[in-house]
C-alpha cells in the first residue's frame, strides 16, 4: 500500500449525528444497493481488490462484499464515530472479518493499494473540493486495473441552490422514534452548506436533538465528464437516474 506521512487534521462532521446515521441510512441503502451491485457486475468473480471511500457504518461495505464474494476490500472511514460501528460490523461477521481492512485516514491521505479492480464512493463525493476530486481521478486513472471501474454517485441537487427543510427518514426502535431532517443554503456556484437535525422522541415528546452542518461541493454530470476527460476516464450512468450512480472506466477500455 502507498504510504503518505503528511496527514492534515480531520474535523469530524459526524461527531453528534453518528448514533442516528446507521439506522436512518438503512432505507436509502436498500434502494441504492441494486444500482451499486449492477455497476460492479463482473468485478470480484475471482480474487480482486476493491477500495471503498467513505464507508460510513458499513452498510455499503456489506453490499460490496455480497456483490464480490471473493474480493478483498479496503474500507476507508475517517470518522472515528462511524468507524466504530463499521469495525464492529466487520469484526462480527466471519466472512467480512477475513476480507475487509478498515483504513482510518481521510482521502487523499488514505493508505490505499497501488492497484485495485474497483473503487466505490457513495454519498461522499461532495466532501471533496475540486483539487481533491482531481487527486481522486488521478488515483483511479493510475490504480484501476484493466476491466475495472469506479462507482460514484452525484447526490441531488447537482447545482448549488437553497433547499427547504425536509424529512430524510424516520425509524422506530422500542418506545422511541429517531428522525432526521435537512435543509441547505447556497454559498457560491460550487458550494452549499447542509444543515441537518437529528431528533429522538418518545410518546410524541422530543427528548433529544442534535444539529450539525457541513460544506458540500456540488457536481453535475457534465462537469463530471469534463473533469474525467482530463485523466482519460469516462462515466456511464448506471441504474435509475434519481440515484445518480455512475460507473467510471478508463478510455483504454473502449479500444
Q: In sequence order, what are the beta bridge partners of 76?
A: 53, 103
CA angle 146, 226, 64 (to 5 degrees): 45
pLDDT tens-digit readout, 51-79: 999 999 999 999 999 999 999 999 999 99
Strands 191-202 and 176-186: antiparallel
Nearest C-alpha neighbor of 178 from the set 186, 187, 169: 169
Tell me which residue has cell 448549488.
160
Task: Provide CB contacts within 8 A for 11, sequence distance 6+.
Answer: none
Q: What is the mean pLDDT of each run of 10 residues along the chain (255 residues)?
A: 56 85 94 94 83 97 96 96 97 98 96 97 96 97 95 96 96 97 97 96 94 95 97 91 90 59
CB distance 71 to 99 below 8 Å: yes
User: What span, in angstroms and rounded, lies between the C-alpha atoms of 3 and 76?
Assistant: 14
pLDDT tens-digit readout, 136-145: 999 999 999 9
Nearest C-alpha neighbor of 122 from the set 199, 53, 169: 53
pLDDT tens-digit readout, 11-41: 787 888 889 999 999 999 999 999 999 999 8
Amino acid at each position: 500500500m502507498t504510504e503518505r506521512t503528511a496527514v492534515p487534521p480531520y474535523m469530524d462532521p459526524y461527531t453528534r449525528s453518528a448514533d442516528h446515521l446507521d439506522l436512518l441510512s438503512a432505507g436509502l441503502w436498500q434502494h441504492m444497493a441494486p444500482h451499486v451491485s449492477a455497476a460492479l457486475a463482473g468485478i470480484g468473480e475471482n480474487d480482486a481488490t476493491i477500495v471503498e471511500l467513505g464507508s460510513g457504518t458499513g452498510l455499503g461495505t456489506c453490499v460490496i462484499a455480497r456483490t464480490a464474494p471473493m474480493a478483498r476490500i479496503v474500507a476507508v472511514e475517517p470518522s472515528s464515530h462511524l468507524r466504530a460501528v463499521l469495525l464492529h460490523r466487520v469484526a462480527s461477521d466471519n466472512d467480512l472479518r477475513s476480507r475487509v481492512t478498515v483504513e482510518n485516514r481521510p482521502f487523499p491521505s488514505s493508505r490505499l493499494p497501488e492497484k485495485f479492480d474497483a473503487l466505490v464512493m457513495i454519498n461522499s463525493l461532495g466532501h471533496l473540493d475540486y483539487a481533491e476530486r482531481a487527486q481522486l481521478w488521478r488515483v483511479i486513472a493510475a490504480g484501476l486495473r484493466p476491466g475495472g471501474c469506479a462507482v460514484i454517485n452525484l447526490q441531488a441537487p447537482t447545482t448549488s441552490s437553497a433547499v427547504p427543510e425536509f424529512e430524510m427518514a424516520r425509524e422506530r426502535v422500542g418506545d422511541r422514534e429517531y428522525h432526521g431532517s435537512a435543509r441547505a443554503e447556497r454559498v457560491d456556484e460550487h458550494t452549499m452548506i447542509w444543515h441537518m437535525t437529528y431528533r429522538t422522541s418518545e410518546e410524541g415528546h422530543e427528548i433529544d436533538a442534535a444539529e450539525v452542518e457541513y460544506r458540500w461541493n456540488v457536481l453535475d454530470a457534465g462537469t463530471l465528464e469534463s473533469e474525467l476527460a482530463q485523466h482519460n476516464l469516462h462515466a456511464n450512468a448506471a441504474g435509475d437516474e434519481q440515484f445518480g450512480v455512475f460507473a467510471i472506466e478508463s478510455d483504454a477500455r473502449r479500444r
